[in-house]
Amino acid sequence: MRISAHLSPLLGLFPLPLFRLSASVSRRTVLILLGVALLFPACRSKEPEVPRPAASARRRARPAAPARLAIIIDDMGYDWAAAESLLTLSHPLTFSVLPYSPYSSAVAEQAHARGYHVMLHLPMESANGEAKREAVFLHAGMSPGEMANTVSGMLATVPYARGVNNHQGSLATTNPALMQELMADLQQRKFYFIDSRTTTASRAYSVARASRVPAAYRRVFLDDTQTREATLRQLALAVEDAKENGWSIAIGHPYPSTLEALREFLPRAQSYGVHLVFVSDLVH
């Protein structure tokens, strides 16, 4: 008999080089061919498999954490006009206030009220005996009781402080025993500590970490040269440092040139690839 049109697709089940079928075959031949197709399914045509993407390609890469930059303004408390100008900058800044200065409490209270963070800028003994120093400061030979009373008196003039960084201290921070006494006191108060790194020989950060006091350290000084251009260059350096390390801490002062540079830099910081944070966000 002739193969009906509805049977012709069966011919595609067999490789043509092996079978050359005539247009007319017997019923018995068709049944034999069907049996062979059922017994040898490998001869059937298959749809090509779509390759699945590798697991790594299917998994979305997590975006890298943004580089974080904290800016501390030291020496707050002597110049009220400078403080008022800095307090108008609506970006995360940490104000480090000197104790016993004319506007210590007022600056700390206003900073806190406007959403800024406050630190105690803790005066410490300098290696340069002729350097201008505060009337009260930490120095070698203090007993633990004297240390605690001195820090308590300073904090009474700087309300809302929750952390400390050193003012001067190029001698005091190299003294492990003095730093251990300080860190024991800060641990009891649940304060954090920022090493201003006024000397490369400082032991303050390492002692703080060993004492389990949350701590970090300054990486860039912004205004050793008091010009807008120099401060902007240092801010650019802080940005690059944050990108390279994931974080950076920069310290500036309430100078007119620093204020001018910050007004220009702060609104653009995000576009430079850094996220501005309070310094307490960087302690560990």
Q: 88-134, pLDDT tens digit by residue?
A: 999 999 999 999 999 999 999 999 999 999 999 999 999 987 567 79
Q: Decide if 165 is inside a domain.
A: yes
CA distance 254 to 111: 14
Query: Token pair of 62, please?
Result: 């997590």
Q: 157-207, pLDDT tens digit by residue?
A: 999 999 999 999 999 999 999 999 999 999 999 999 999 999 999 999 999
Beta-strand pair 117-124/192-195:
unpaired
CA distance 180 to 235: 33
Whether residues 24 and 147 share a domain: the answer is no
Query: What is the tally of structural domains in the chain?
Result: 2
Average pLDDT over residues 224-236: 98
Whether residues 84 and 196 share a domain: the answer is yes
Q: 9-67, pLDDT tens digit by residue?
A: 444 444 444 434 444 445 555 444 445 444 444 444 444 443 444 444 444 545 567 89
Whether residues 267 and 161 share a domain: the answer is yes
For 27-182, list the strands marked E by DSSP.
67-76, 94-97, 117-124, 163-168
Quick check: 183 and 207 in contact, CB under 8 A?
Answer: yes
Whether residues 74 and 21 share a domain: the answer is no
Whether residues 33 and 91 share a domain: the answer is no
How many residues are given for the chain? 284
Q: Decide if 59 is inside a domain.
A: no
Instruction: Of 275, 282, 280, 284, give the one whose Cα is nearest residue 67.
Output: 275
Q: Decide if 2 is inside a domain.
A: no
More confident residue, 43 or 135: 135
Whether residues 46 and 124 share a domain: the answer is no
CA distance 181 to 123: 15
Whether residues 89 and 40 share a domain: the answer is no
Whether residues 23 and 73 share a domain: the answer is no
Domain range spanning residue 45?
A: 8-51
Whether residues 26 and 127 share a domain: the answer is no
Q: How far is CA 144 from the centre of its chain?
A: 35
What pLDDT shows up at residue 27?
55
Query: Token pair of 276, please?
Result: 């501005």
Q: Decide if 205 is inside a domain.
A: yes
Q: For residue 148, is pLDDT > 60?
A: yes
Q: Decide if 21 is inside a domain.
A: yes
Quick check: 268 and 61 in contact, CB under 8 A?
Answer: no
Whether residues 47 and 72 share a domain: the answer is no
Whether residues 99 and 71 share a domain: the answer is yes
Whether residues 184 and 231 share a domain: the answer is yes
Whole-angstrom CA distances from 75 to 17, 78, 88, 111, 149 are 94, 7, 17, 14, 22
Q: Amino acid identity, residue 98?
A: L
pTM of the model: 0.78
